[in-house]
Amino acid sequence: MSKAILYDATLCIGCKMCEQACAEQHGLPYDDNIAAEQRQSDHKYTVVLNQDGKYMRRLCMHCQDPTCASVCPVAAFHKTALGPVVYEASRCIGCRYCMMACPFSVPKYEWNKTWPLVRKCDMCSERVTKGLPTACAEICPTGATKFGERDDLIAEAKDRIAKGQGQYVDHIYGLNEVGGTSTLLLSSVPFEYFGFKPGISTVAPPLLTQGVLSHIPDLVTIGAVGLGGIWWLCNRKEEVAEAEGRQAPKKA
């Protein structure tokens, strides 16, 4: 039932209409200067990178098990049943752990505001809830960005790679990365070329901290009993001495 976005770099012509549609959808400014910016920011949730004529779109990956949602101390992020990972601004305290922890460095900050918030692509959650495709997918003139059921899009991506006669890297980025994402990418050149970090695990990062956190209740009970026991043992000497009518042995 979960929705996803499939971006196929081989179909992209770099027209940046997705950038513009995204800005309009989210009430952000957009002009030639902003169009020229080659990075995501608090006013640019998606960007079409141009690396020597090769295009690649960057946007939130909408992980199946989102790192941002797991690290946020106030649960400001959550993944909806439909797929988008959304942000509740009214909860955010501004610790920026999401930015630090995101394996794709997607969340961006309003550094120039006095009371800033985190900003990122929300997969047009409002539209998706109404059954509409994302603004970027709707506007895309070549079908490079496609919106649909995640399972269907995976099948289609596999099909494109199989029929592509080697024009694709044999890899659907996001199929297994960090346990799977709802943004799926196809490319004709390796993803590292566009600055994707090499060696991203297929294990969802939240599992790394969950393993440690899950021991805490046990640790607390064992620790409390153990320390209580140590106190009893170490202080018993004096109690015994007192009961026997002797003076407690001076330690100092």
Partner 1 sequence: MLKRKITFWRVVLAILLAAGACATVLRFARGLGASTHLTDDFPWGLWIGFDVMCGVMLAAGGFTLTAAVYLFNLMKFKPIVRPTVLTAFLGYLLVVVALLFDLGRGYRIWHPLVMWNPRSVMFEVAWCVTLYTTVLSLEFSGVLFEHFHLYKLLRLRRMILIPLVIAGVMLSTLHQSSLGSLYLIVPNKLHPLWYTPLLPVLFFLSAICVGLAMTIFESSLSSKHLHKQLELPLIQALGRTLLVMLCVYTVVRFQDLLHRGVFHVLSKGGWEVWLFGLEVLLVSVAPIGLLLVPKVRESAKGLYLAAVLCLLGFVTNRMNVAITGMEGSGRQQYIPKWTEMSVTLAIIAFGFLVFALAARYLPIFSHDVASPAIEKSQEVQAEYLELSHVEE
**Residue numbers at the binding site for partner 1 (CB under 8 A):** 39-42, 67, 69-76, 91-97, 99-101, 103, 105, 108-117, 197, 199-201, 205-206, 208-210, 212-213, 216, 219-220, 223-224, 227-228, 230-231, 234-235, 237-239, 242, 248, 251-252
The tokens describing 114, both together, are: 């006095």
Q: Which residues pair with 173 in a beta bridge?
A: 185
Sign (positive/negative) of CA torsion 97, 182, 159, 132?
Answer: negative
Cβ pair 44, 57 in contact under 8 A: no
Instruction: Tell me if residue 5 falls in helix, strand or coil.
Output: strand
Least distance in angstroms from the C-beta of 236 to partner 1 = 9
The tokens describing 118, both together, are: 């985190």
Least distance in angstroms from the C-beta of 211 to partner 1 = 8
Return d(Cα 219, Cα 182) in angstroms, integer.
36
* Residue whose tokens read 């988008």: 84
* Residue whose tokens read 């994302």: 134
User: Closer to partner 1 at the Cβ: 162 or 224?
Assistant: 224
Return d(Cα 149, Cα 182) in angstroms, integer.
9
User: Closer to partner 1 at the Cβ: 155 or 220?
Assistant: 220
Least distance in angstroms from the C-beta of 42 to partner 1 = 8
Least distance in angstroms from the C-beta of 64 to partner 1 = 15
Least distance in angstroms from the C-beta of 8 to partner 1 = 25
Least distance in angstroms from the C-beta of 87 to partner 1 = 13
Helix (H) / strand (E) element for 221: namely helix 216-243
Residue 87: phi and psi, rounded to 5, are -125, 125
User: Closer to partner 1 at the Cβ: 142 or 221?
Assistant: 221
User: Closer to partner 1 at the Cβ: 155 or 227?
Assistant: 227
User: Closer to partner 1 at the Cβ: 11 or 200?
Assistant: 200
Cβ pair 134, 62 in contact under 8 A: no
Instruction: Tell me if residue 118 falls in helix, strand or coil.
Output: strand
User: Closer to partner 1 at the Cβ: 1 or 212?
Assistant: 212
